Amino acid sequence: MGRLEDKVAIVTGGARNIGAVYAKALAAEGARVVIADVLDGSSAARAIEGTGGQAVSVEVDVSREDDTLRMAQTAMDAFGRIDILVNNAAIYLSINRRPFYEISEEEWDRVTAVNIKGVFLCAKAVFPHMRDRNGGKIVNISSNTVMAGTPNFLHYIASKSALVGMTRSMARELGAHGINVNAIAPGLVEHEGQTVPGEISASRVSARSIQRRQVPEDLTGALLYLASPDSDFVTGLTLVVDGGNVLH
């Protein structure tokens, strides 16, 4: 019996890379999963079904409210409830890192629309369904770059910093409804979508207390903790999972 038997989880940005690993891990604990991504998430959903789990996918731009409402409705239509929201969708891999004074206003607006407003809209869309059951888990995906002050993508840093404050405020607003709101701040994760040049990987490894490369599976223990009853009395937390790099 998994820890998330009977639960329904929405994973935004779950079509590929780390989000797909989150979706798989939730399903392995018994959750029925909705993969919500601007990309086609059907192959990630099929992969879960191939291992005996239940999953559906829905194409959603998290920066659009009509899309996020449709996302929540898809979950309700498919599975009848929403217990867990993982706010993982973000503009990340497509960012070309450059000094802040070279970032265009348009790029700033798009990154913050997806990475900040998207989290607000997704939480707003699922909230009535969580409130109706007097319970829920919202997990926002921030980044350890916030604590490290990593240079050359200020719009991204601004967006992931916002999630730390939003997590705290939402935790206070939603506690009375039985909803926990926490965040995970991963370090630099190496996966098939992000191959890190050898010298950068080596310098990150040497900065960590636990000196090895970080992979998506390093994050699933923290996610399952924050998505399950194990964390019922934990809220407003940003949990850094980076092998002991920034030691926040």
Ligand X SMILES: NC(=O)c1ccc[n+]([C@@H]2O[C@H](COP(=O)([O-])OP(=O)(O)OC[C@H]3O[C@@H](n4cnc5c(N)ncnc54)[C@H](O)[C@@H]3O)[C@@H](O)[C@H]2O)c1
> C-beta of 179: minimal distance to ligand X in Å?
21
Stretch that binds ligand X, among 90-98, 175-183, 198-206, 226-234 (CB under 6 A): 90-98
Catalytic residue among 92, 101, 156, 225: 156
Stretch that binds ligand X, among 58-66, 70-78, 128-136, 175-183 (CB under 6 A): 58-66
d(C-alpha 53, C-alpha 25), whole Å? 10
Check residue 188 for interaction with ligand X (CB under 6 A): yes
d(C-alpha 120, C-alpha 143), whole Å? 17
Q: Scanning residues 109 to 148, which ones bind ligand X (CB under 6 A)?
A: 114, 141, 143
Q: 143 exposed, middle or buried (CB, 10 Å; 0-12, 13-18, 19+)?
A: buried
> C-beta of 77: minimal distance to ligand X in Å?
19
Backbone phi, psi, residue 7, to 5°:
-85, 155
d(C-alpha 185, C-alpha 200), whole Å? 19
Check residue 62 for interaction with ligand X (CB under 6 A): yes
* Among candidate residues 19, 31, 55, the one with its CA nearest the CA of residue 137: 31
Looking at the Cβ atoms of 79 and 92, the one nearer to ligand X is 92
Looking at the Cβ atoms of 58 and 171, the one nearer to ligand X is 58
Check residue 92 for interaction with ligand X (CB under 6 A): yes
> C-beta of 190: minimal distance to ligand X in Å?
7
| Cα angle for residues 12, 15, 19 (degrees, 5° grid) | 55
